[in-house]
Structure 1
Amino acid sequence: MGKEHALVICNHRSDIDWLVGWVVAQRKGCLGSTLAIIKKEAKHLPFIGWSMWFSEYVFLERRWNKDEQTLKSGFKRLVDFPMPFWLALYVEGTRFTEAKLLAAQEYALSRGLPIPRNVLIPRTKGFVSAVNNMRSFVPAIYDCTVAVPKSQPPPTMVRMFRGQPSVVNVEIRRHSMEELPKTADGIAQWCKDVFVTKDALLEKYLSRDTFGLQERQDIGRPKKSLFVVVSWSCLLIFILVKLFQWTSILASWAAIAFSAFFLLLVVGVMQILIQSSESEHSTPLKITPHQDPTTERLLPISVKTLTTS
């Protein structure tokens, strides 16, 4: 992992799955070349969304007549990408909640499809486009399954800001791109079958608190990460010290007002990030009797089990 181009698909379980993906990518040495296909609104999030925009993530408007060309242009830019990249797609189209699961189960029951218990029904149109456009230069698909132990609280942005650790288990299966069918219908069915298998895997995980007999690998924390954190912390502390030294030159009321404004700005940014990460604020899954979610717009190996904390 980290030595080849890969298309990454994953169940969208927690509020900060994107951060789990970043952690895995960073510890495999390809964080700088990790990309994703996500909804357009995400690029307006302070700092995190801006970094995604600068990293040339693919942003969708959720209208296929526009998104189809956006996807093709995004895939075309990756043909000559200078280093191994991961391109992440959450093909369920939205984050998992009990309400969305109920809607997916009702739809599956009405259509005679396998009834999901731990995942949503994948929307395959974007996945089919990705495979058709990148088959020639992306050799692998990483099928990731994210699960949280029953004894552990789900990871959230709030816990992260509070400095509380979270335990997440990730199973990654590598599929060769050559294994996939050549037709659009075949590719779509392959994706659906993967999520049926993923649902069964999660059902076993919930009963055993483990993915199976595979040896679990703790991906650890490289020393380079500690160096980066310490360096940025020192830089930020230096900037804050200089900032307060500058404000002390001003009149006392001006200094107090500036400090209060800065504090409110920090609190506001944190609140925006927290609210945007909560599953309750994610895009609702809209399914009507005449609408097949497996063809709707995309929102945004050996088996290895990884643990992050």
Structure 2
Amino acid sequence: MAFPATIVILPLGILFILSGLIVNIIQAIFFLLLRPISKNCYRRVNKLLTESLWLELIWLVDWWAGIKIELHTDSETFQLMGKENALVICNHRSDIDWLIGWVLAQRCGCLGSTVAIMKKEVKYLPVLGWSMWFAEYIFLERSWKKDETSLKSGFEHLEHMPLPFWLALFVEGTRFTQTKLLQAQEFAASKGLPTPRNVLIPRTKGFVTAVSNLRKFVPAIYDCTYAVPKSEASPTLLRIFKGISCSVKVQIKRQKMVELPETDDDIAQWCKDTFVAKDAMLEKYNTTEMFSDQELQQIRRPKTSVLGFVTAVSNPVSYTHLDVYKGQHMF
């Protein structure tokens, strides 16, 4: 059921900002007092703090808007999700792709230890951006000279994470739009590359750097493909706040890192080939409505996001002490 945006956004926004600022303050205290003593202990505590805040957004997806997420992957990959370090790449279709990724991470037990490569400007945003900074997200300036150093430094920090993590990288570099698709098609034609129809051409420098630096302690790449049925509008934050539901389909293919090529050029070509295959898969879905031949896994909405939200409403301080993420409270 849809609700007027102004009625919903104001109270939910105030709640999120107030509870988020409380979490940020607690994060800052632990950063100053605990991190110098034990970085691993700080990371474990910060994981719970981060989850307590992000569960409020997951509540919006799960229980307010009722977004239906279908996960297609093989049983072996499904069992490993959340139990191993992984580099996650996916097509960038909407402005909440990152939030869908958080939902999947929450289902698998690694929400608080999920990180991403983001634009530098994001870290200055109160609540969400500050929380990402405390969670050791990697921020880039879109200047390769500076970004290469930032990436390598960020990857070095990840090597010593005490808990399994997902590192998300949108290799297209920007969200898919028709204007950007036309630009990508023109570029492909000028370079003799396959013409994309449903994805943009990946920017491979960051991906090659990630693989080269992560392969010794990250065993797998999760190749994710997002799709929304043609009959439904793509989800947005505004539509979620209005309580408008939709369906999102996700396929994950696990690629062992040791099976990737060794040279930079070959790694870049693997990434390009992966997006060509992704484009063909999405084109097939658009024409036949058959999304994936992978097994449909059951991922159910957890009670923890409801408990976290209700506790935040009643007492924004105490909710940060919830052990919000064991995965045992499922419908």
The residue that corresponds to 2:99 in the other structure is 19
The residue that corresponds to 2:249 in the other structure is 169
Unmatched segments (≥5 aa) in structure 2 = 1-80, 319-331
The residue that corresponds to 1:181 in the other structure is 261
Please give the alpha-carbon distance, in whole angstroms, between the structure 1 residues aligned to 2:88 and 2:107. Answer: 16
The residue that corresponds to 2:301 in the other structure is 221
User: Equivalent residues in 2 for 1:96-115 (5 A)?
Assistant: 96-115=176-195
Please give the alpha-carbon distance, in whole angstroms, between the structure 2 residues aligned to 1:175 and 1:63. Answer: 29
* Pairing 1:50–2:130 present: yes
Please give the alpha-carbon distance, in whole angstroms, between the structure 2 residues aligned to 1:218 and 1:164. Answer: 23
Please give the alpha-carbon distance, in whole angstroms, between the structure 2 residues aligned to 1:141 and 1:169. Answer: 19
The residue that corresponds to 1:233 in the other structure is 313
The 3-state SS of whatever aligns with 1:32 is coil
TM-score w.r.t. length of structure 2: 0.70
* Deviation for aligned residue 1:233: 2.0
The residue that corresponds to 1:271 in the other structure is none
The residue that corresponds to 1:306 in the other structure is none
The ranges of structure 1 where at least 4 consecutive aligned residues each deviate by more than 4 angstroms after the TM superposition are: none
Please give the alpha-carbon distance, in whole angstroms, between the structure 1 residues aligned to 2:213 and 2:188. Answer: 29
Residue number among 216, 225, 248 corresponding to 1:136 in the alignment: 216
* Deviation for aligned residue 1:234: 1.6
* Deviation for aligned residue 1:217: 2.5
Please give the alpha-carbon distance, in whole angstroms, between the structure 2 residues aligned to 1:166 and 1:235. Answer: 31
| Bigger CA radius of gyration | 1
Please give the alpha-carbon distance, in whole angstroms, between the structure 2 residues aligned to 1:179 and 1:130. Answer: 15
Please give the alpha-carbon distance, in whole angstroms, between the structure 2 residues aligned to 1:215 and 1:233. Answer: 38
Please give the alpha-carbon distance, in whole angstroms, between the structure 2 residues aligned to 1:202 and 1:26. Answer: 26
Please give the alpha-carbon distance, in whole angstroms, between the structure 2 residues aligned to 1:138 and 1:216. Answer: 25
Residue number among 239, 242, 250 corresponding to 1:159 in the alignment: 239
CA, structure 1 residues 182+213, in 2 after alignment: closer, same or farther (shift >3 Å)? Answer: closer
User: Equivalent residues in 2 for 1:79-98 (5 A)?
Assistant: 79-98=159-178
* Deviation for aligned residue 1:236: 4.7
The residue that corresponds to 1:67 in the other structure is 147
The 3-state SS of whatever aligns with 1:31 is coil
Question: In the TM superposition, what whole-angstrom CA distance separates every residue of 1:79-109 from its partner, at most 9, and x where no partner exists?
Answer: 1110000000000010000000000000101
* Alpha-carbon contact 2:251-2:292 (below 8 Å) kept: no
* Deviation for aligned residue 1:46: 3.4
Please give the alpha-carbon distance, in whole angstroms, between the structure 1 residues aligned to 2:89 and 2:316. Answer: 35
The 3-state SS of whatever aligns with 2:112 is helix
The percentage of counterpart residues that share the same residue type is 66
TM-score w.r.t. length of structure 1: 0.74
Please give the alpha-carbon distance, in whole angstroms, between the structure 2 residues aligned to 1:125 and 1:15. Answer: 23
The residue that corresponds to 2:205 in the other structure is 125
